[in-house]
Structure 1
């Protein structure tokens, strides 16, 4: 059975607490040291199957590949203070790259392959990686985005270009250091393990540090060597990082694929490989539930099905649950900065709209605008505390202090409440942030593009929710006097001025005489969006 969250409540402090975490590993060990020793315990077990590249690796083979990668980094003089860049799909040797970094206690900074050149340049300018691992598909854009950095080596994982990059096979055929052992953490358990990505309120990306803390393992101790794990998430998502870590720690078999998500292919994987442990985005759930093959799909092997990172309709949840052999579909709420889940809902029938109870080691409080803690059923900002060290946003202490206060509380920006049973409900999403196919972006990113049009006087961008794509950007525009600007002109302009699909106006555009405004004259994004939806419904 999976870990079952249970809360306690301090009525005086108005703070909810999850249960205490039990330590299964020595508290001073790094994630890399744990994986290194655990992989040697079951050398002949299958560690990984790539269904797209048709490769199979035992734990012994994956362990050896990781030592090759780690030794290569050592031969290049990389230190624990250095950063490794990753922008790649789930190909055969990416887990070895991650483990190699873990063995050296070197943090990697992982980016999504969908990022445009400008975003890649901004992000890698923050962390300045020494080596970048990417697919040959993205080699040129990565090379161009990092040409201002000194002495960056680019390693390609597949589709190697002629000249310029180091093929991963060259590294895997290099020498493993004599008597290889993982290194100890120079700064202790709070040292950064990995760096993932988040966007700032102005659209400027932030590099989110994740520590070597045990918190990331807290809800996964039920995993065993008989489990078959899968997530379509790559290493730039917390779910991709979590699956990479847990498959190494708990000696599971991991199924990977580097294709664009396809619902029928996903359902075939579940049936063919008897996947038992699945982490999925809500949009992927909706795509499967809406496919013709869904009713005949066999999900009977799944014993733990977790989704998060966005909302899934109750209808989609009911459809997925109808195909499962046990009540194992659970919603998880968290955020990248926390480095793990905050809550998990194991009581869908009783609390279908809740994001669940707190997981082990986590505390929560709800605060009003004045910062005072609220009691049960009182709405306010959700604040989360896990008691773990957090190095903050890499190179950005100012933004770090904005999200985490001096008492170590994360201020999520989400509005919600706790009920009398300790179940958390989110009323509104994080202010302004949008997520299209799991890529985070902000309205300001798109507004900047539209505002460059000479016929545009004012613009307001917002997200229109689609159960497949998530938040599709849509725009309301006030045109300049005398202009004959049309809504389609705006859609076309954005399409032609960004190569990022998630920043395009997938939700459409309208022309307004004036935007909806708050009493103080500022643009009211919610009211403007409501008007947009009303107009669209009429048409």
Structure 2
């Protein structure tokens, strides 16, 4: 049940394929039960399969998440990156020990580039929008030519709306959603950076960071934070912790923090920044 709960927390829905690369039967059994409880089919492969075979087979079932062989399921790595419109897996990470935060390299037949606001390709370690190309023209969204054009350009590049970068070895790293990017005093920053720092606090279960608009400075970072049951945590503790861990002033919680019972989720069970922000403002206005 612990594994099933973790899978739901990652946003998996019924019908989403789960990829499994395992060596021990006990690990496969635990995942099989988790998939059964969640209504998610799984595709299991042995660890001795060649990388090319794994790419080819997972390219057929297109798993949204891939579990690697291991004892601690709380430390499961998200090893792949899939775009529904691409109709295939985009990246796989076979070197998660060396690149634990990467979703991997592009699979055979997939090209990736990182572009800036002008659509210009960027070099290694430069953050921009992640774009995919599988060499095929996509049929598009049903009766929605405008959104189709935004998703795939005239050169067949899919614009994912995700921000990330590729390192010198060609591994892709995802930073945040393009629409989630914030600007404080003309400097761009990502809420996920602050969320990662807050998550380090021992009394924190989950955090959601968003921007509170200020006409002078721009987006002031604010956070709604869920504390672990039975622990003590004050909003000011979170503000001070971020201040100590992040020296840059524009990444401070200049909009404050709020301790909440839960973070509002979207339909895909991921934090809903807009709804969480609205609830934050509603509670703050009352106080």
Q: TM-score, normalised by structure 1?
A: 0.26
Larger radius of gyration: 1
Q: TM-score, normalised by structure 2?
A: 0.47
